[in-house]
Amino acid sequence: MAEGADALTGYRILRLGLEPERARLYERINRRAAEMFDRGLIEETERLVERYGYHCRPLTSLGYAEAVAVLRGECGREEAVARARQGHRNYAKRQGTWFRREPEIHWLKGCGGDAEVAAEARGLVLRHLEAPAA
**What is the longest distance spanned by two Cα atoms in the chain?**
61
Task: Indicate the range of 9-13, 83-87, 114-118 predicted with least confidence.
Answer: 9-13
The pLDDT value given to residue 95: 95
Query: What whole-number distance in Å separates Cα of residue 134 and Cα of residue 128?
Result: 11
Query: What whole-number distance in Å separates Cα of residue 71 and Cα of residue 77?
Result: 9
Q: What is the pLDDT of residues 93-115, one digit of tens each?
A: 999 999 999 989 999 999 988 99
Q: What is the pLDDT of residues 19-61, one digit of tens each?
A: 999 999 999 999 999 999 999 999 999 999 999 999 999 999 9
In the chain the first and final C-alpha atoms are separated, in Å, by 21
The pLDDT value given to residue 8: 73
The pLDDT value given to residue 123: 96
Average the pLDDT over 5-20 and give the result: 86
Angle at 98 between CA 120 and CA 16, to 5 degrees: 15
Query: What whole-number distance in Å separates Cα of residue 96 and Cα of residue 80?
Result: 24
- Going by the DSSP 8-state scheme, the letter that residue 82 receives in this structure is H
The pLDDT value given to residue 79: 98
The pLDDT value given to residue 21: 95
pLDDT(3) > 60: yes
pLDDT(134) > 80: no
User: What percentage of the chain reaches a pLDDT higher than 90?
Assistant: 84
Query: What whole-number distance in Å separates Cα of residue 10 and Cα of residue 6?
Result: 12
Domains and CATH numbers, the chain: 21-102 (1.10.287.890)
